Amino acid sequence: MTTTDQVRHDVLEACQALAAYGFGAMIGGHVSARVPGEELYATTVLDKTLSELTFDDIVLMDFDDRVVGDSRVISPGIDFHSGIYKLRPDVNGIVHTHGYAITAQSAFGRPPRVFHNLASYFFGRTAVVPDDSIASIAKSLGDDDIAIIIPWHGSITVGADLGTAVALHHTLDYAARLDIDMSAAGAEPMPDDMVLRVRALVEKADYLELTWQMMRRAAPRAKVPA
pLDDT tens figures, 65-74:
899 987 788 8
Q: Which residues pair with 128 in a beta bridge?
A: 149
- Residue from 76, 59, 77 nearest 68 by CA: 59
Residue 225 confidence (pLDDT) above 70: no
pLDDT, residue 26, reads: 82
pLDDT, residue 10, reads: 98
CA angle 88, 7, 77 (to 5 degrees): 55
- Residue from 203, 206, 169 nearest 15 by CA: 169
Query: What is the DSSP track for 119-164?
Result: GGGGTT-EEE-SSSSHHHHHHH--TT--EEEETTTEEEEEESSHHH
The span from the CA of 38 to the CA of 129, in Å, is 28
Q: How confident is the model at residue 28 (pLDDT cuts 50, 70, 90)?
A: confident
**Size (the chain), residues:** 226
Q: How confident is the model at residue 226 (pLDDT cuts 50, 70, 90)?
A: very low
Q: Which CA distances in Å does 8 have to 17, 63, 124?
A: 14, 16, 32
Residue 223 confidence (pLDDT) above 70: no
pLDDT tens figures, 161-214:
999 999 999 999 999 999 999 988 989 999 999 999 999 999 999 999 999 999
pLDDT tens figures, 154-164:
999 999 999 99
Residue 111 confidence (pLDDT) above 80: yes
β-bridge pairing 147-150 and 154-159: antiparallel
CB atoms within 10 A of CB 206: 10
User: Domains of the chain, with CATH numbers?
Assistant: 3-222 (3.40.225.10)
pLDDT, residue 7, reads: 98
Residue 136 confidence (pLDDT) above 80: yes
Query: In whole angstroms, how large is the CA radius of gyration of the chain?
Result: 17
- Whole-structure pTM value: 0.95
pLDDT tens figures, 46-88:
899 999 999 999 999 999 989 998 778 888 889 999 999 999 9
Q: How confident is the model at residue 141 (pLDDT cuts 50, 70, 90)?
A: very high
- Residue from 167, 155, 103, 99 nearest 127 by CA: 155
Q: What percent of the chain has a predicted confidence (pLDDT) above 70?
A: 98
pLDDT, residue 224, reads: 52
